[in-house]
Amino acid sequence: MAVYIIAEAGVNHNGNLELAFKLCDAAKEAGADAVKFQTWKTEKIVTDTAQLARYQENNIGNKHQSQFEMLKSLELSYSQFVDIRDYCNSIGINFLSTPDEEESLEFLCSLKLPWLKVGSGEITNVPYLRKIASKKLPVILSTGMSTLAQVAIAYDTLLEYGAPSVVLLHCTSNYPCPMDEVNLKAMNALRVFGCSVGYSDHTEGIEVPIAAVAMGAEIIEKHFTLDKMMDGPDHKASLDPIELKQMVCSIRNIEKALGDGIKKPNSSEKEISKTVQKTIVASCAIMRGEILGENNLTVKRTGKGLIPYNWDTIIGTTAIRDFSIDEPIVLK
């Protein structure tokens, strides 16, 4: 099965519908399977006194904003999300969005999404996970900021309350995430649940999601933007459209390179082996009836003859005819 690549537009539309459309275009052009946004009503997810996270302070132009003010400036209306969904349908890319509270969950379910994506911030929010599960849609759950025990509670809750399946994404909730905090091997720890596993990436560059695919990730999620220099909390930790396209292309190449896991020569190798692999030949002129041994045999590239697997079988037998130097040895 092909890796499902989610181009995470997130809030990089900066609250502008036309910019959101351009992000959809860029995701489609890059070859992503889906473009994902985030849907919320600010009043329902944060108090008006909540402070910005440190990375948000570092990345936005107005460091004096509260978290409430920042989120409100990035909020899109439900009608705008309908327009984005319709636009995605028109250009042929899946639309996804993460609901950050129950009202937005109800709205997004009305749009007939193929998945419900749950962000890392909700992994300990058991009441909300029950609501998510009750919609009986497949769930993608990011697992940043959590222990394996917390993941187990969230995973079991989702299945118990109606989610037909859950994909777990390893994630480090730092923007951008330094390489020494990625802990990509933790993705393998999630396999204990017997479900599909993927990776949601916040590093700079494209090498880590590519490595995740080589380790068996079935879903990759990566933030992207039209311009890293734009004001906003996530632009600096995002790929630009060219980098996004490079990531998608690299992932598809890695998929091909992984193959089926069966160790065997492929068709091109079978042809090459005829000229590269060595065979048993006469190291000097050999007379009929002469005993074959290390004194008159060697191995060289000839393109025909017996491969050296047969060395021990041939040693000690008699030559069935005369052989000239470098002539491949035959037994009958």
Residues 198 and 150 in one domain: yes
Residues 24 and 160 in one domain: yes
Residues 284 and 187 in one domain: no
For tokens 């639309």, name the residue.
Answer: 95
Q: Which of 220, 235, 258 is the last residue before a domain boundary?
A: 258
Residues 274 and 179 in one domain: no
Residues 194 and 87 in one domain: yes
Residues 145 and 24 in one domain: yes
User: Average pLDDT by consecutive 10-residue portion of the chain (332 residues)?
Assistant: 96 97 98 98 89 66 75 96 98 98 98 96 97 98 98 98 98 94 98 98 97 98 96 89 98 96 93 93 98 98 93 97 97 88
> What per-residue confidence (pLDDT) applies to 173?
94
Please indicate, yes or no, if residue 325 is contained in any of the structural domains: no
> What per-residue confidence (pLDDT) applies to 64?
61
Strands of the chain, DSSP E: 4-10, 34-39, 94-99, 116-118, 139-142, 166-171, 197-201, 219-223, 278-282, 297-301
Q: How far apart are the first and last CA of the chain?
A: 49
Indicate the Cα dihedral angle 296, 299, 305, 310, nearest 10°. Answer: 80
Residues 130 and 33 in one domain: yes
> What per-residue confidence (pLDDT) applies to 217?
98
Name the residue range of residue 26's domain: 4-258
Residues 230 and 301 in one domain: no
> What per-residue confidence (pLDDT) applies to 224?
98
Global pTM reads: 0.89
> What per-residue confidence (pLDDT) applies to 65?
75
Residue 331 CB burial class (10 angstroms; 0-12, 13-18, ≥19): exposed
How far apart CA 170 and CA 64 sit, in angstroms, is 32
Please indicate, yes or no, if residue 330 is contained in any of the structural domains: no
> What per-residue confidence (pLDDT) applies to 53?
65
Residues 137 and 19 in one domain: yes
Please indicate, yes or no, if residue 324 is contained in any of the structural domains: no
How far apart CA 16 and CA 5 sit, in angstroms, is 24
> What per-residue confidence (pLDDT) applies to 252?
98
Residues 281 and 250 in one domain: no
Please indicate, yes or no, if residue 229 is contained in any of the structural domains: yes
Please indicate, yes or no, if residue 332 is contained in any of the structural domains: no
The CATH code of the domain that includes 162 is 3.20.20.70
Please indicate, yes or no, if residue 319 is contained in any of the structural domains: no
How far apart CA 263 and CA 261 sit, in angstroms, is 6
User: Count of domains in the chain?
Assistant: 2
Please indicate, yes or no, if residue 331 is contained in any of the structural domains: no
Q: Which of 246, 166, 173, 257 is nearest to 209 (CA)?
A: 246
> What per-residue confidence (pLDDT) applies to 57?
62
Please indicate, yes or no, if residue 323 is contained in any of the structural domains: no
Residues 287 and 210 in one domain: no
How far apart CA 309 and CA 30 sit, in angstroms, is 49
Residue 111 CB burial class (10 angstroms; 0-12, 13-18, ≥19): middle
Residues 221 and 272 in one domain: no
